[in-house]
Amino acid sequence: MFRFALQNILSRPVRTSLAVLGMTVAILGMVSLFSIAEGLDQVVGNTLNRVPGLVAMQRGAPIPLFSTLPEAWLDELEEIPGVRAVSPESWARANVIEGEVVVSPPRLLCGTDIIRRNQLETGIYREDIVAGRYLDAEDIGTRNCVVSRQIAEEHGKQIGDTLEVNGYDLKIVGLYYTGSLLLDVAIIIDDGPFREMARFDASTVSSFYIERDDTVTDEEVLKRIKDRFRGRGPKAWQGTSMLAGSGGNPLSMLAESFDRALKSLAKPKTDSNLAREQAAEGEVNSTDSDSTGATHLETSETSETTVADDPMEVRLATDWAGRVDKFAEDLDLALWLLTSLGIFIAVVSIVNTMLMSVSERVSEFGVLRANGWSRSHLMQLVAWESFLLGITGGIFGCLLGWGLTLAVNSAFPQRFSLYASPSLLAFALFFSAILGAGSGLYPAWWAARLKPMDAIRRN
């Protein structure tokens, strides 16, 4: 049966090639797209394995770059039992490097307390120096920096060269390489020069990296930190919003002022109109004062609830992994939606090919039925043919997809980290085989339902 099916599909090379091409393109797209998600999982997993400590950030901030915490909390964190070392970190974007505007991949400035950073047992960047040295006490107050090897190669820099960042000249004293796209983006300098370059508030930091000692677990330290800082409202250090001033929304106020100005131009100023406008303004002012008083009462009633909120989040590696898993699930759903279009086209291509092949061989099927073939034999023959089309397209699609991921990683090592795992390739191959066999079910049923004499007379 297998040999007979193989001969049938080889006898029509053009039609077979088109059907295989459709399945190849669909599986190629599937492997390529899902290699993005698997590459992300691999990068994040490798990164989290290198960050065994706890990270304290502003509540609700997705990453330290968008976090702001009071620097004064450093001393309190160090006093908590079980905390061995605390390293404050301040982060900002490096918008311009060597006169070029940085868009992608992003480059970040990291201001660090050199003394406290070197007290950590696990130095993420300190342990990954590949040339030069890491920052030490002699670099305090200077513009000496440690950069990733990718940044140095991108701008043709070596140890001892000057790197212009945001209009300031930094001297490179060390190069590091972690192999993680999430970590190899930093330019690390002393905290003092960083604040000058980034115009960073002297009383705040982005996050605290916390290491515990061997007397407690991560969960115990996390609970002690939360208990220590619980009850401190974030209002004192979050800053004010441009759209939430005491006088109301400034954009709304601006729109209202324009509206009043246009109305005044369109309407003549009579004594009665002036009197009505003055009365209306008096009512608005009265309403504003009443609403202000009500807002004050509501604020006083909810102040206890606001103050009771935890001002910051302390995350373990498992917390980061959970958030990444949720993002990966949403990404997988989006990728399936994109891949489904190519799969639909491949299915239509194979169904069309098999229907045309079956319709041309109806009389042959009638002769086979007349010579003792059963309906199940015919269905097996057509199913084998469609299966061979699907598995062939799957093999080519997997090979091309795997090769494409290697080519992209090689061509853009600083931008992409795609990964087509063996499990992904095996699933894609199995999926193509099942898809191909399933696409031939309707043509097989259509051929098998005909009576032998009706099939012979049809042609």
Cα distance between residue 210 and residue 199, in whole Å: 25
Convert the pLDDT of each residue in 239-257 to its tens digit.
Answer: 433 333 334 444 444 445 5
For the chain, the C-alpha Rg in angstroms (whole number) is 34
How remote is the C-alpha of 15 from its chain's centroid? 41
pLDDT of residue 46: 64
Residue 411: Cβ within 10 Å count: 9
User: Are the CB atoms for 66 and 207 separated by under 8 Å?
Assistant: no
Write out the two tokens for 158.
Answer: 């070596």
Convert the pLDDT of each residue in 388-418 to its tens digit.
Answer: 888 898 999 999 999 999 898 888 776 677 8
- Report the DSSP pairing between strands 144-148 and 129-132: unpaired
**What is the domain partition of the chain in residue ranges?**
2-47+318-458, 54-234, 253-307
Q: Which residue has the higher pLDDT, 2 or 256?
A: 2
H or E element, residue 174: strand 168-176
Burial of 267 (0-12, 13-18, 19+ CB in 10 A): exposed
Its pTM stands at 0.60
- Most confident range (mean pLDDT) of 270-284, 321-335, 420-434 is 420-434
Write out the two tokens for 170.
Answer: 């930094």
pLDDT of residue 299: 41
Give backbone dihedrals phi and psi of 199, rounded to 5 degrees, phi first. 55, 45
pLDDT of residue 295: 41
Of the pLDDT bands very low, low, confident and very high (cuts 50, 70, 90), residue 136 is: very high
How large is the average pLDDT for residues 141-156?
Answer: 93
Convert the pLDDT of each residue in 177-211 to its tens digit.
Answer: 987 777 888 999 999 999 999 989 989 999 999 99
Choice among 91-100, 109-118, 290-299, 301-310 with the minimum mean pLDDT: 290-299
Three-state DSSP class for residue 355: helix
